[in-house]
């Protein structure tokens, strides 16, 4: 994680690193960004720290002019104002913002100037948050992450995940609720890094999805509905930010398309099939039809299609053209559909990767009918070692 963090910092900051070494000295932070120095007080932010237009009160109409002082400050900080206008233009019309204090907060957490500018450019509403709010949010994130560096990596990659909501109490309540389901810190870490909106959902919304999953488990004859949500969420971190309607539709599509029994559906969703529960229903339907058409065209039966999906449900994420390309590549390389159905994970690799491996194996005279296709479903390191042994 330390190495990842260093790489993130190097990418984010090329010219600003030396300046950071002195940022914590009095007055240096303001000079670094080129802002007018101001004396901070506990109760009142200075004008340059809390930007306000000169003169009239802020108007709430859509034609409210941009806050010129704010735009100047953001430019001096290296923020991409054009990007701000595209993403959240309303921020530039606000009478009071907190850009310098937010920048100072991020600086103290280890973010260099270029990283700070990038974060604000991509999620401008960050400058509307108070330092008190941010400190409280940081403490909550530390319940999930082990170090400040881990938080900065996620925050830089997805600023929205940290700044999106101002409701820290709701965030904390969601942590407590998710933990009560049996999810551990590792699960929460994955949720926050891949589907951060889970924590800005209202607690009621998350509870609704959990209750729905328990209901599905009971409908399918499951013996322990209380454990079912944990099993699904652990495998599919996106499920809590989807609608119950979408999940219900997908269950109905899979049941009808594959003629699955309740026990088969339950077994599917308790395993890898949990990952397809939140797939776009239209996408699920179209990808199933294209898979079915392709397999029937090469002589497969419906039982083969069912076996393939139950053993490798992720195949339903593969679009028509990509799937066709991969299957054609394998079939031309001497692999049979029977072998693919038995070892479907070979389809996880790109067509280019499959093609390259087939060429190498052909060169060394590898016999797929005699030795099988396991060699295609291996890491690059293991594959290269295999080729080296066969070459010897």
Judge whether 242 and 233 are in contact, CB under 8 Å: no
Instruction: State whether 218 and 157 are in the same domain.
Output: no
Instruction: State whether 181 and 272 are in the same domain.
Output: yes
Classify residue 89: in a domain, yes or no.
yes
Confidence of residue 213 (pLDDT cuts 50, 70, 90): very high
Helices then strands, each counted (H, E), the chain: 24, 0
Three-state DSSP at 210 gives helix
Rounded Cα distance, 114 and 96, in Å = 23
Q: What is the pLDDT of residue 11?
A: 47
Tell me which of 163, 179, 208 is where a domain ends.
Answer: 163
pLDDT digits (tens, 9 = 90+) for 14-72: 334 333 333 344 344 443 454 543 333 333 333 334 444 444 444 455 568 999 999 99
Instruction: State whether 217 and 267 are in the same domain.
Output: yes
Instruction: State whether 173 and 258 are in the same domain.
Output: yes
With a cut of 50, say whether residue 146 has pLDDT above it: yes
Instruction: State whether 101 and 134 are in the same domain.
Output: yes
Q: Could you tell me which residues come within 8 angstroms of residue 335 by beta carbon, excluding any fewer than 6 positions away? A: 346, 368, 373, 376
Question: Virtual CA dihedral for 162, 163, 169, 172, nearest 10 degrees?
Answer: -10
Tell me which of 121, 146, 163 is where a domain ends.
Answer: 163
pLDDT digits (tens, 9 = 90+) for 307-331: 999 999 999 999 999 999 999 999 9
Three-state DSSP at 52 gives coil
Q: What is the pLDDT of residue 166?
A: 80
pTM of this structure: 0.75
Q: What is the mean pLDDT of residues 121-132?
A: 94
Classify residue 291: in a domain, yes or no.
no
Comparing C-alpha atoms, which of 275, 355, 338, 280 is closest to residue 312? 275
Q: Is the model more confident about 311 or about 12?
A: 311
Domain count, the chain: 2
Classify residue 354: in a domain, yes or no.
no
Instruction: State whether 172 and 258 are in the same domain.
Output: yes
With a cut of 50, say whether residue 149 has pLDDT above it: yes
Instruction: State whether 200 and 220 are in the same domain.
Output: yes
Q: Could you tell me which residues come within 8 angstroms of residue 130 by beta carbon, excluding any fewer than 6 positions away? A: 98, 101
Any idea how long the chain is?
392
Rounded Cα distance, 241 and 235, in Å = 14
Instruction: State whether 82 and 101 are in the same domain.
Output: yes
With a cut of 90, say whether residue 75 has pLDDT above it: yes
Tell me which of 278, 301, 336 is where a domain ends.
Answer: 278
Confidence of residue 381 (pLDDT cuts 50, 70, 90): very high
Burial of 238 (0-12, 13-18, 19+ CB in 10 A): middle
Judge whether 212 and 255 are in contact, CB under 8 Å: no
Q: What is the pLDDT of residue 27?
A: 42
User: What is the domain extent for residue 208?
Assistant: 167-278
CA dist 259 to 53, 262, 264, 271, 301, Å? 65, 10, 10, 18, 14
Three-state DSSP at 389 gives helix
Instruction: State whether 150 and 171 are in the same domain.
Output: no
Helix/strand/coil percent split, the chain, to 5: 70, 0, 30
* Arithmetic mean of pLDDT over the chain: 86
Q: What is the mean pLDDT of residues 170-185?
A: 95
Q: What is the pLDDT of residue 18?
A: 36
Instruction: State whether 159 and 171 are in the same domain.
Output: no
Q: What is the pLDDT of residue 36?
A: 42
Task: Give ∠ CA 99-104-109 in degrees, rounded to 5.
Answer: 130
CA 285 to chain centre: 24
Classify residue 368: in a domain, yes or no.
no
């Amino acid at each position: 994680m330390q190495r990842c963090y260093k790489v993130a910092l190097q990418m984010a900051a090329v010219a600003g690193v030396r300046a950071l070494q002195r940022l914590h000295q009095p007055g240096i932070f303001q000079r670094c960004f080129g802002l007018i120095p101001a004396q901070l007080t506990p109760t009142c932010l200075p004008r340059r720290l809390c930007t306000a237009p000169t003169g009239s009160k802020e108007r709430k109409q859509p034609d409210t002019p941009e806050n010129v002082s704010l735009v100047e400050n953001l430019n001096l900080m290296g923020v991409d104002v054009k990007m701000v206008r595209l993403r959240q233009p309303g921020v530039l019309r606000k009478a009071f913002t907190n850009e310098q204090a937010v920048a100072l907060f991020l600086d103290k957490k280890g973010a260099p100037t270029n990283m700070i500018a990038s974060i604000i450019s991509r999620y401008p509403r960050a400058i509307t948050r108070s330092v008190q709010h941010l400190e409280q949010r940081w403490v909550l994130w530390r319940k999930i992450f082990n170090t400040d560096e881990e938080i900065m990596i996620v925050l830089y990659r997805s600023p929205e995940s940290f700044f999106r909501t101002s409701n820290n109490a709701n965030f904390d309540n969601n942590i407590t609720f998710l933990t009560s389901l049996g999810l551990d810190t590792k699960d929460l870490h994955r949720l926050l890094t891949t589907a951060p909106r889970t924590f800005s959902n209202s607690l009621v919304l998350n509870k609704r999805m959990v209750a729905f999953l328990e209901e599905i488990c009971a409908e399918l004859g499951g013996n322990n509905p209380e454990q079912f949500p944990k099993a699904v969420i652990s495998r599919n971190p996106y499920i809590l930010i989807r609608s119950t309607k979408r999940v219900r539709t997908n269950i109905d599509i899979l049941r009808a398309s594959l003629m699955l029994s309740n026990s088969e559906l339950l077994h599917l969703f308790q395993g890898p099939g949990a990952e397809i529960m939140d797939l776009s229903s239209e996408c699920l339907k179209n990808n199933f039809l294209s898979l079915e058409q392709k397999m029937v065209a090469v002589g497969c039966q419906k039982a083969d299609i069912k076996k393939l999906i139950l053993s490798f449900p992720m195949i339903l994420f593969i679009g028509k053209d990509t799937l066709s390309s991969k299957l054609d590549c394998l079939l031309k390389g001497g692999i049979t559909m029977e072998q693919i159905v038995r070892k479907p994970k070979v389809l996880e690799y790109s067509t280019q990767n499959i093609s390259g491996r087939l060429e190498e194996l052909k060169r060394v005279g590898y016999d797929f009918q005699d030795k099988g296709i396991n060699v295609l479903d291996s890491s690059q390191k293991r594959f290269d070692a295999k080729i080296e042994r066969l070459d010897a």
